[in-house]
Chains A and B, each alone.
Chain A
Amino acid sequence: MKLDARIPSGPIEKAWDKARFDMKLVNPANKRKHTVLVVGSGLAGASASASMGELGYNVKCFCFQDSPRRAHSIAAQGGINAAKNYQNDGDSVFRLFYDTVKGGDFRSREANVYRLAQNSVNIIDQCVAQGVPFAREYGGALTNRSFGGAQVSRTFYARGQTGQQLLLGAYQALERQVSTGTVTMFPRTEMLDLIVVDGQARGIVTRNLITGELDVHFGDAVVLASGGYGNVYYLSTNAKGSNVTASWRAHKRGALFANPCFTQIHPTCIPVSGDYQSKLTLMSESLRNDGRIWVPKKKGDKRPPSQIPADERDYYLERRYPSFGNLVPRDVASRNAKHVCDEGRGVGESGLGVYLDFSDAIARLGENVIRERYGNLFDMYQRITDENPYKVPMRIYPAIHYTMGGLWVDYYLQSTIPGLFVAGEANFSDHGANRLGASALMQGLSDGYFIIPYTVGNYIANSKLDKVDESHPVVQEAVAGVKNSIHTLLSIKGKRTVDSFHRQLGKIIWDECGMSRTAEGLKKAIGQVRELKQEFWQNVNVPGSGSDLNQSLEKAGRVADFFELGELMCIDALNRNESCGGHFREEYQTPDGEAKRDDENYSYVAAWGYNGPDSEPTLTKEPLEFEYVHPSQRSYK
């Protein structure tokens, strides 16, 4: 297979204009005759559904929560980037583009990133108009904060709840369309398979999570906006329900999965406290604006932080990266935290933690200013740890947070299956090997408000689709397959719970395909994952039935997919004999421990094809070319 990203020819600044001009349009009067299925109601799915509903398409939107407003996007804290240059500090579309390509360690597609930077400005306008209460200056203008990997202040925010406010904006736009009848919402409905007829995506099989009924929905196009797969690690900052099932089932139907090993470890999360722990809590990156990160200089120094004098502290990020200091990108910050903890200088009971200290900022700005900026985050920290971060430095440790990998898409966000589009975190598109803070929200909304409505329309205008119905053999096979796997899961009745398998899988992936990876470890992990997967299918215990609300059954289906994905992540990581962004192979590092890329051999997107449960996946490469931002050793010194 050859991958064609369909990047418009000509200068990058004009690419999106040209693409839009070349698109075929659907006659407005005909739009309602076309059905688009959108799986997901997060930023990407809600914004795409609302915008397509406004255009007049007949949209069906699906989510597994009881309301679209609860999608995982709601939890994003810190902010959203946009090249508005309101601060007059030298920002521009080109700079945001440049920072994002560099931040992604030169493993993303330039044309997509450029378009993202262009759309960023419209996103802020749209959200403000919808009533998103972004933070403001006294004069009434929008205000900004800084985020990692950038030296300009371009992050817009609504306290520590930016994702919530952006999602509510998109959700409200969605509900407006629900009230006009253009969008039909299917909450508590999980997509379990993709229907591909004559090579084109034509529908999905869903399960009603309350009644257990299986349904088939047909459409002219399917948009997956089902989020990221960070929960393969079991412990992550993702919501508990976040999963890879929609993407994975599409992958099994022929959509290539790109760069699965590109995962992001966020440097500032609350450290793990015990085995019962069900998830990890993020402390927003914005805290690094005012907090200083340090550990004791001495190994095993157990004194309370207040008793460690300044000259016995190592502010290691400021020391190693004087120009970016505490605001280095996430991959760099996380790796350094791991490094100092591996040296035995970690803090807290487990030794897996570093301090994030606000005492200097409080002395300089006053407690009120800090409370105004981060109050709700400080409260959250205190609620969880029972420690007061205004008085004692926070303890933080890296945790898995975001997945850059995802289904492969071309410039039009179409996967390798015509008619199947992928938006938001579920696609692999814009962040390369490392995502900069505040750019996932930007990407989700750029995809949903400003790209999908165009490209899906173009696809519809260019295709002639025959009618399909439930009697089609492909549909019957898909429904029977879903039924069968539900039945199998329920009838194993083994000895171990789904969660116990998930935890064990997560630990393998975290240990060997987490913050640092080695060929040897990855090979070991592949064997372990395969063994555990086998045991799962013989020994899992899923109680209850398939005909009512059965949360264990939902989890079991998701974990089954995580096994297969986990294996592919390790295969991908093993294939990539270089270090880049979040993918750190210990064998490939510079003398001072930074990631060492191999552009000659690995400047490509690794897109994997599925060949059945017991066969090796096929690798297809999309070579990456850099015309505007020249690959260099990423330096934040």
Chain B
Amino acid sequence: MKLTLKIWRQKNRDEKGKFVSYSVNNVNPEMSMLECLDVLNEDLIQRGEEPVAFEHDCREGICGSCGFMINGHAHGPQTATTACQLTMRHFKDGDQLTLEPWRAAAFPLVKDLVVDRRAFDRIIAAGGYISVSTGNAPDGNAIPVPKGIADRAMDAATCIGCGACVAACPNASASLFTGAKISHLGLLPQGKPEQDRRALNMVAQMSEEPFGGCTNIGQCTESCPKEIPLEVIANMNRDYRVATLRKRDDLIQVITPVTTWSSDSKS
């Protein structure tokens, strides 16, 4: 079949971008969206033009690299599907697809469909972990974890960090992403000791980045390729509030470094 791809082209952050339309013939319905872009790119290179830059790696919906808006939907119209897994059989001959990058102040544009999502790493670095250094662990079965809890933690932990939630949200909020990590770790007994400081620190970092606030619209869940439930945002808000109420002022401190010298250098 034949498709028209209207794609956002922008050389870098400083130059102005614009939509350019390309027609792609010979689209096979079995192809993925990214393979369709491969075909276009091969053609562009042959014609001496620069190919469209887009991010991808695993092409199986798990690494979270890919992602752009397809006709106004993050990752396209199919639910629970990343762009790399979206097959062209969902479109019909003659369709026009508009592809544009995630639009959010917290995700500055890099080139064409590629954006900078390092804000997500900074949110994790602020507290999205359990502080257990290598070698410190008790036996894996020492603390039983009820199956239901493990399953719910796993549901939240499947987030791939692609950024679709932010792109889909009219406020460009990162609440689903942050809530998912807070829920995953907070649900597990291993994550309980740091539950308060984790919520406080991660939320603080999220607010420091230019993400918007959550107003319970729910676009994030709808566009999430891993169907992370909205419940994680409720968990985040609860953990945050509980932690604030407890007002233990040692909570907000930066994580205590393991070795003495590094605490010297910090202070």
Contact = CB atoms under 8 A, between A and B. Distances in A.
Given A70-B65, A122-B137, A131-B191, A548 B111 contact: yes
A29 to B, nearest CB: 6
Given A56-B261, A158-B154, A168-B157, A384 B63 contact: no
A179 B63 contact: no
A129 interface: yes
Contact of A74 (B63, B144, B150, B153): B63
Nearest to A128: B140
Nearest to B48: A543
A278 B258 CA distance: 45
Given A56-B258, A136-B147, A276 B39 contact: yes
A317 B198 CA distance: 51
Contacts of A173: 129, 132, 134
Interface in A488-511: 497, 499-500
A278 B30 CA distance: 12
B85 to A, nearest CB: 5
A142 B30 contact: no
B20 interface: no
Nearest to B139: A125
B80 to A, nearest CB: 8
A210 interface: yes
Contacts of A122: 135, 137
B33 to A, nearest CB: 11
Interface string A245-288: 00000000000000000000000000001101111011000000
Nearest 7 A/B pairs, CB to CB: A140-B144, A172-B129, A129-B137, A125-B137, A175-B125, A133-B154, A51-B134
Interface string B236-267: 00000000000000000011011101100110
Interface residues of B, number: 87
A67 interface: yes
Given A135-B150, A179-B255, A129 B130 contact: yes
A548 B53 CA distance: 11
B184 to A, nearest CB: 7
Contacts of A31: 259
30 contacts: A51-B134, A66-B55, A66-B65, A69-B64, A69-B161, A72-B57, A75-B58, A124-B140, A129-B136, A131-B130, A135-B150, A140-B144, A140-B147, A161-B62, A164-B62, A165-B157, A175-B128, A179-B125, A181-B257, A239-B57, A239-B59, A276-B35, A278-B35, A281-B60, A383-B87, A384-B85, A386-B87, A386-B89, A497-B46, A499-B42
B64 A70 contact: yes
Contacts of A74: 58, 62-64, 160
A400 interface: no
Given A131-B188, A549-B110, A380 B61 contact: yes
Contacts, number: 239
B218 interface: no
A160 to B, nearest CB: 9
Given A386-B87, A497-B42, A552-B45, 12 more contacts: A32-B259, A67-B117, A70-B64, A72-B57, A128-B190, A131-B130, A131-B185, A178-B121, A182-B257, A278-B35, A279-B60, A384-B85
A241 B57 contact: yes
Interface of A: 28-29, 31-32, 47, 50-51, 54-56, 65-70, 72, 74-75, 84, 86, 122, 124-131, 133-142, 158-159, 161, 164-165, 168, 171-173, 175-176, 178-182, 185, 187, 210, 239-241, 273-274, 276-279, 281-282, 379-380, 383-384, 386, 449-450, 453, 497, 499-500, 541, 543-544, 548-549, 551-552
A86 B141 contact: yes
A299 to B, nearest CB: 27
Contact of B59 (A28, A54, A172, A240): A240
A241 B87 CA distance: 21
A136 B190 CA distance: 15
Contact of A130 (B28, B129, B254): B129
Contacts of B143: 128
A240 B56 contact: yes
A549 B140 contact: no
Contacts of B57: 65, 70, 72, 239-241
Contact of B11 (A138, A159, A277, A548): A548
A175 B121 contact: yes
B261 A276 contact: no
B208 interface: no
A453 B134 contact: yes
A450 B134 CA distance: 8
A126 B137 contact: yes
Contacts of A54: 133-134, 258
B63 A499 contact: no
A221 B61 CA distance: 35
A171 B159 CA distance: 14
Contacts of B35: 276-278
B116 interface: yes
Nearest to A51: B134
Interface string B203-242: 0000000000000000000000000000000000000000
Nearest to B185: A131
A40 B150 CA distance: 30
B25 interface: no
B18 to A, nearest CB: 18
Nearest to B26: A276
Contacts of B50: 543-544
B262 A164 contact: no
A121 to B, nearest CB: 8
A325 B256 CA distance: 53
A380 B129 contact: no
A32 B261 CA distance: 8
A133 B87 contact: no
A549 B111 contact: yes
Contacts of B118: 66-67, 187
A499 B38 contact: yes
Contacts of B257: 180-182
A50 B134 contact: yes
B59 A278 contact: yes
Contacts of A453: 134
